[in-house]
Structures are given as structure tokens and as C-alpha cells.
């Protein structure tokens, strides 16, 4: 037998190839790595076989197989792989040329020698090679079929996921799930069962013969669906069983619809009524993935529905609210507003998401939002508009949302308060002259003749009562002047020095009452405010006077002074009798005094704290109280800091 001539083509190696060493000893061989050289040598008719080493990477195009096609028709082809398996792409490329054999590397040299011997003798090798070729074709066909099936499943899952997440309508989501699921599994029918208030309802059903899915809301007592919902595990069976519609199913596949939070809301079911064919594990896995997409989409639709319902309710509230309400986000961009606010400030729908400062022309309201955005302690103002109306405006922070301004019209209340103040001021002014006359004549009674002891006592009591009434009238007139803006010329002043001077003047009265009075500044830096020194001194005097009067002998009064951001904070604390919680909100009202056995003997007009509140608010400040019964009280007020004037 003539010595066979074998060519080894290994494009990824520098000749000689590892396969060359495995050829029979009597074989005449050439090892090539260049395709052009290979084509030149294949022109020689004495080539018995071409041993082609399949690369482990790259693509068949690199091999230039179409150029080798004319020679591979007459030259037997033997494939050698450096790995136990060859990719589908390479198999498809080589099957066109009907290879005689496929050997995975490493292989036994005897196997290659036998194949070459068969080729050289032109005997039984033809049958063997054809059988091997048919085996390869069968393997490749089966692999392609499985690959196409998996590719179709993956494409279906991708399409369903993309489709259902793009919708927020429940029926549309369910239809987009059931239709491709039936097409994918080739089931006779498919449907979705959802749990509602501990009952099951069939919502969407699709039969393979039907043109489109059917939208339902049919109650069912499907025990298999209940089992899947309660266990959270899919159910797959190939036997006759009653399911949702009480019909006998030959095979069924139920998978749960589980939300990201772990709640089972229903099932996706595939059923074979007519054909006696079971569902596969691959279909179970694919359908479970589709069900996960559906559950997420249904949960999103449910949350969106709740959000829309809340939005509609909020919109209805804002539409019918009598107060003007403005809600912004954390960046002071307009988010929501009531119809009253839209009419009041001429806010158009186009202002949604725009900066409040670009659409609200009222400087006071813009400043109020600006102060609140800087965590200012002051967040309330009486807003006066161009049309003469007055609004009590409060801006408060809403965690995680932004800020909300609520404005209540108080124009009529301010007018009534003004009338009341004018009436009280007029009456007080008219009473002062006759009271002064009465007080003067009573003081002169002892000059008209000697008074006995009882008469002297009566005169003293009458003069004390007149002093009390005079003080009351003075306080009433003070409040009237403060609220009217009289005697409130503002100028820069050293507030820390003003407090020290006021405290020094009050030390004698405190010492006589057995009270220790002290000042505690947080730093020695000067604190500047813009205000009226006489009125601010009156605030300090009233707070110290109350702290001394409502204290106990041996107690203390401390004045704390500090600066926080852009405000001066003053705290007057005492160790006195304290104020009950239910009465703390009213202590700044006119004529209001806490009634108890401990306060019966303490004199006062009930106007001192009302004057404090009026003065502080006229200085754009805020005052409040914190108190514990039996332990003492702390009256605090804040004023805006004024930049220290340059020398």
C-alpha cells in the first residue's frame, strides 16, 4: 500500500503541530499554518487526507474555508479539537464539507492511524465516515433545536419583562403576561388568578384557539391555586385534575406571583385540557421568571394606584381649602398649592417645579422661606398684601418633602383688635386725669385736719388701689403705643451692655426679696441688634420682675445670653413655683394670670408678659416659655443679629 500523504493544518501554532507527532510512523506529512500554502499543496492529487486542528477561539471566517471548498470536495477531512467539545459555530462551518471523523485532543494515535488506513484502502472507511458524519449531524441538529428553544424562551422573558414594566394598568399587565406564556408553553389555556380579600378571582384567560385574551373577574375555589399561594412553591403535575373552572386538566403548571416583599398575590397557570402532554422543567423555570416580572409590575401598579388616590385626595383638599397653602420641595421649588394661594399670588400651573422666588412677588413671604431654609428659629409673620388684607403665615419644614406655608386671613381680626385697642387706649387716657385728681385729693386729706388711725388706714388702702389702677392704665397705654408703632425708633445698640445695665438696676429689688440674680453670657464678644433701647429694657425688666415675684426666698434668677446663627438668644430662668402645662400657652395673653394658692398674694396687672410679646414681635423676634411646676420657668426670646457698625 502506498504511503499516505497527510497535511496537518494548525493555524494557531508554529509548525510542527502537536498532532504531527501522533501520525503513524510510515506517514508522509506536511505541517502548515498559512492558508495560502495549504491551498497550493492541496492542488497535489496525492494528498490522502487533511487533518485540520480546530482553534479554541476566534471565528470560522478567519480560517477562510470558502477558499478551501474546491479542494475539500475530493480531499477527506479529519477534524481534531484541542478540547473535548467544539462550539456550535465551528461545527456549523465544518459540517458543510462532511468531515470523515472528529477527534478530541488528546486522543490515541491508534485511532488516527486506523482512520488514515481506512481512507488509504478506500474500503470500510467510507461507511464509517458517513456514519460518523450522520452522528455529527444528529448531534448538531439536536443542539441547534435546544439552542433555538432556549433562545426563544429568553427572548420571550425579555419581551414580557420589557412589556409589563412599561404599563401601570393591571388588566393590560396580566394580558401581556398570559398571551406570550401560552404561546411559549403551547398550553391549551392559560390564566391568572389573583387573591382579593381572602378570595380568588380569575382575571385574565387565554385559550390557544382564541384570537385574544379574555378579561374576567370570576370567583374560583381552585384548591391548587390556594396550595401554591400558601406554600409559595410552584405546582406541576401530569394527570387528570380539577382546576379553576372545575374542568379536568390532563396536565397543569402553576407558578406563584410573589412581590419583592415576599407576599404571594396570585398564580400564573398553564393547563392542557385536550392534549396529553406534560410541561417541562425548562418551562417551569421560564414561567417562574415571567411570573416574577408580572408580580413586580402588579405591585408597581398597586403602589401607583395608591399614590394617585392620595394625590387626588390631596388635590381635592387643596382645591377646597379656605386657607392659602403653598408646599415646596427641599430646594424651594413649587410643588403643590391651594386654589386660594393661586388666586392670592397669581400662581399659574406652569410654575410647577419652578423656584418660589421666581413666581412669588411678596418680599416678606420670600424672606420667610429663605429664613426657614437656613434653619432659622423664626418662621411666622403677619403678611400684609397690596390689597390691604393681612394673613397670619407660618412656614414649617416637612421631613423628606420640603416646606409648607399656611396662610390664614386675619384682616377682620386685626380690625377688631385695632378697635379694641383704640377703645382701651381712649378709656385709659380719659381715666388717667380724674384718677390723678382723686389720688391728689386723697393724699391731701391729712392737711385738712388730723386723721385718726382708722381714717389713716383707709386713706393708705385707697392710695394703694389708685396706684394699682394707675399702673394698669399705664400698661394699657404702653401696649397701645407699642402696637401702633409709637416710640419705637430703631437704631443699632449693644444688646449685651443693655442687659447688664438693666440687671444692675434690678439687683436691689432681687436682693430685698432674697433672690440671687446673675448674668451668664456665652462669650465676651459684643452682641448687636437693631431696636429701641427703652422698649427692650422694658422686656428685660418685666421678665426679671416676674422671675423674682414668682420665686421663693433663697431662690435664684439667671439670665443667659448667646448667639445662634443669625439670632441673639436671651433666656431668663428661675427656681420659682413654675407654670402648669395647660396654662403655659396663655401666659402672654392680656390680663391673664395663673390662679393658684401661691399666686393669690402676688400683685400684678396681667399685662407684663403681653408687653414683652408685643415688643419682641415688633423687633421681628419670637418669645416662648418652658416651665415645670415646682421647679421653675425659663422665658426665652430671640432677636435678629445686626451687623456691628464699623468704627
For the chain, domain boundaries: 5-123, 157-304, 321-409, 413-484, 491-640
The CATH number that domain 321-409 falls under is: 3.30.450.20
For residue 84, how many other CB atoms are within 10 A of its CB? 7
Compute CA 102 distance to the chain's CA centroid, rounded to the nearest angstrom.
61
Of 596, 472, 607, the closest CA to residue 545 belongs to 607
Please tell me what DSSP assigns to residue 63: G
CB atoms near residue 40 (< 10 Å): 11
pLDDT at 647: 38
- CATH fold label, 5-123: Rossmann fold (3.40.50)
Instruction: Please say whether the beta carbons of 222 and 243 come within 8 A.
Output: yes
What is the CATH code for 157-304?
A: 3.30.450.40
Q: What is the number of other CB atoms lying within 10 angstroms of the CB of residue 194? A: 20
- Could you tell me how many residues make up the chain? 647
Cα angle 450, 454, 455; round to 5: 45
Please provide the CATH number assigned to the domain covering 413-484.
Answer: 1.10.287.130
Check residue 645 and report its DSSP letter: P
Rounded Cα–Cα distance for residues 304 and 163 (Å) = 17
Q: In this predicted structure, what is the pLDDT of residue 376? A: 47
Same fold, 321-409 and 413-484: no
Q: Averaged in consecutive runs of 10 residues, what is the pLDDT profile of the chain (647 residues)?
A: 74 73 76 80 75 75 72 78 68 70 73 77 49 61 64 66 75 85 85 90 84 81 89 85 70 90 89 87 85 87 87 84 87 88 88 87 80 54 83 83 87 80 68 76 80 83 76 67 68 90 89 90 86 88 90 91 88 91 85 74 76 87 90 92 64
Which contiguous run of DSSP H or E holds residue 136? helix 125-164
* Residue 526 confidence (pLDDT): 86
Q: What is the CA radius of gyration of the chain?
A: 49
Contact 231, 249 (CB under 8 A): no
Question: Which pLDDT value is given to residue 10?
Answer: 80
Q: Give the β-pairing of 380-384 and 390-398.
A: antiparallel
Question: What pTM value is reported for the model?
Answer: 0.44
pLDDT at 126: 47
Helices 533-549, 495-512: crossing angle, 10 deg rounding: 30
CATH pick for 491-640 out of 3.40.50.720, 3.40.50.2300, 3.40.470.10, 3.30.565.10: 3.30.565.10
β-strands 214-220, 199-207 pairing: antiparallel
Amino acid at each position: 500500500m502506498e504511503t499516505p500523504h497527510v497535511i496537518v493544518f494548525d493555524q494557531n501554532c508554529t509548525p510542527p503541530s502537536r498532532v504531527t507527532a501522533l501520525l503513524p510512523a510510515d506517514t508522509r506529512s506536511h505541517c502548515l499554518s498559512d492558508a495560502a500554502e495549504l491551498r497550493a499543496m492541496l492542488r497535489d492529487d496525492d494528498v490522502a487526507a487533511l487533518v485540520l486542528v480546530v482553534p479554541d477561539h476566534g471565528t470560522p471566517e478567519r480560517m477562510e474555508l470558502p477558499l478551501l471548498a474546491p479542494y475539500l470536495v475530493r480531499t477527506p477531512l479529519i477534524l481534531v479539537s484541542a478540547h473535548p467539545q467544539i462550539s456550535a459555530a465551528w461545527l456549523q462551518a465544518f459540517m458543510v464539507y462532511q468531515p470523515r471523523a472528529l477527534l478530541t485532543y488528546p486522543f490515541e494515535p491508534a485511532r488516527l492511524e486506523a482512520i488514515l488506513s481506512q481512507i488509504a484502502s478506500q474500503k470500510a472507511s467510507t461507511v464509517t465516515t458517513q456514519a460518523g458524519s450522520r452522528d455529527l449531524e444528529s448531534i448538531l441538529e439536536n443542539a441547534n433545536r435546544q439552542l433555538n428553544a432556549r433562545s426563544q424562551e429568553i427572548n420571550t422573558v425579555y419581551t414580557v419583562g420589557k412589556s409589563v414594566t412599561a404599563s401601570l394598568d393591571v388588566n393590560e399587565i396580566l394580558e401581556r403576561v398570559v398571551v406570550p406564556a401560552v404561546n411559549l408553553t403551547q398550553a391549551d389555556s392559560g390564566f391568572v388568578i389573583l387573591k382579593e380579600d381572602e378570595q380568588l378571582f380569575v382575571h385574565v384567560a387565554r385559550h390557544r384557539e382564541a384570537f385574544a385574551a379574555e378579561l374576567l373577574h370570576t370567583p374560583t375555589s381552585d384548591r391548587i391555586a390556594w396550595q401554591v399561594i400558601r406554600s409559595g412553591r410552584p405546582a406541576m403535575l401530569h394527570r387528570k385534575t380539577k382546576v379553576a373552572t372545575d374542568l379536568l386538566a390532563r396536565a397543569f403548571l402553576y407558578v406563584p406571583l410573589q412581590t419583592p416583599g415576599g407576599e404571594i398575590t396570585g398564580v400564573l397557570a398553564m393547563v392542557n385540557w385536550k392534549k396529553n402532554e406534560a410541561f417541562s422543567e425548562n418551562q417551569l423555570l421560564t414561567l417562574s421568571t415571567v411570573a416574577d416580572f408580572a408580580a413586580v409590575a402588579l405591585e408597581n401598579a398597586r403602589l401607583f394606584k395608591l399614590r394617585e388616590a392620595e394625590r387626588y385626595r390631596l388635590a381635592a383638599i387643596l382645591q377646597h381649602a379656605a386657607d392659602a397653602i403653598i408646599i415646596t420641595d427641599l430646594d424651594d421649588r413649587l410643588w403643590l398649592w391651594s386654589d386660594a394661594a393661586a388666586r392670592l399670588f397669581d400662581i399659574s400651573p406652569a410654575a410647577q417645579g419652578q423656584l418660589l422666588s421666581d413666581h412669588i412677588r411678596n418680599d416678606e413671604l420670600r424672606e420667610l422661606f429663605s429664613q426657614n431654609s437656613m434653619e432659622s428659629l423664626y418662621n411666622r409673620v403677619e403678611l400684609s398684601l397690596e390689597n390691604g388684607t393681612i394673613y397670619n403665615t407660618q412656614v414649617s419644614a416637612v421631613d423628606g418633602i420640603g416646606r409648607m406655608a399656611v396662610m390664614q386671613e386675619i384682616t377682620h381680626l386685626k380690625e377688631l383688635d385695632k378697635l379694641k385697642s383704640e377703645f382701651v387706649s381712649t378709656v385709659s387716657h380719659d381715666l388717667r386725669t380724674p384718677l390723678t385728681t382723686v389720688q391728689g385729693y386723697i393724699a391731701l386729706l391729712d392737711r385738712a385736719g388730723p386723721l385718726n388711725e382708722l381714717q389713716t388706714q383707709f386713706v393708705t388702702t385707697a392710695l394703694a388701689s389708685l396706684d394699682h389702677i394707675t399702673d394698669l392704665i399705664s400698661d394699657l397705654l404702653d401696649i397701645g403705643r407699642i402696637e401702633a408703632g409709637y416710640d419705637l425708633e430703631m437704631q443699632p445698640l449693644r444688646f449685651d451692655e443693655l442687659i447688664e445695665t438693666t440687671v444692675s438696676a434690678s439687683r436691689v429689688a432681687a436682693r430685698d426679696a432674697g433672690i440671687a440674680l446673675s448674668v451668664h453670657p456665652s462669650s465676651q464678644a459684643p452682641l448687636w441688634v437693631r431696636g429701641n433701647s427703652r422698649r427692650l429694657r422694658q422686656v428685660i425688666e418685666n421678665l426679671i420682675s416676674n422671675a423674682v415675684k414668682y420665686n421663693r426666698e433663697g431662690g435664684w434668677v439667671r439670665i443667659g445670653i448667646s448667639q445662634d446663627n443669625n439670632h441673639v438668644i436671651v433666656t431668663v430662668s428661675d427656681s420659682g413655683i413654675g407654670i402648669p402645662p395647660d396654662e403655659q400657652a396663655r401666659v402672654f395673653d392680656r390680663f391673664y394670670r395663673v390662679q393658684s394658692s401661691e399666686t393669690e398674694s402676688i400683685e400684678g396687672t396681667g399685662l407684663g408678659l403681653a408687653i414683652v410679646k408685643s415688643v419682641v414681635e415688633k423687633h421681628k423676634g419670637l418669645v416662648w416659655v418652658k416651665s415645670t411646676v415646682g421647679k421653675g420657668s425659663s422665658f426665652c426670646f430671640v432677636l435678629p443679629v445686626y451687623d456691628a457698625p464699623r468704627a
